[in-house]
Amino acid sequence: MNKFDRRKERYTIMKEFTYTVTDPLGVHARPAGILVKEAVKFTSDITIEKDGKSADAKRIFGLMGLGVKQGHTITVRADGADEDAAIAAMQALIKENM
C-alpha cells in the first residue's frame, strides 16, 4: 500500500460529530478555554471546523479565530489512537457548555 492509500485509510476511520451552538455568546473565551483544557488530555488530533475553516482544538486562539456564534454549526473531528474517547469527551463537553 502506498503512502496515499494509507492516508486515505486513516481518514476513513476518523471520528466526528456536528453540533449547532446554542450559547447566546457563541464560543467566547470561557468555553474555548474549557475545550482546550479537555482536548489536551488526548493524543489524538482534534479539530473544530466552521464554514470550511478549521482550528486545532488544543489552541485557544485558533478556536477564537473561527468566530463561532449562536446558531452556527461546527464539526468536531478526532483522529488518533484515543479518538473514540476524545470524541466522546468533546461531544459531552460541547453539549454541556455550548
- Catalytic annotation, residues: 28
State the pairing for strand pair 15-20/53-56.
Answer: unpaired
d(CA 7, CA 19): 26
Please name the residues in contact with 4: beta carbons below 8 A apart, sequence gap of 6 or more. none
Please name the residues in contact with 25: beta carbons below 8 A apart, sequence gap of 6 or more. 70
d(CA 59, CA 12): 25
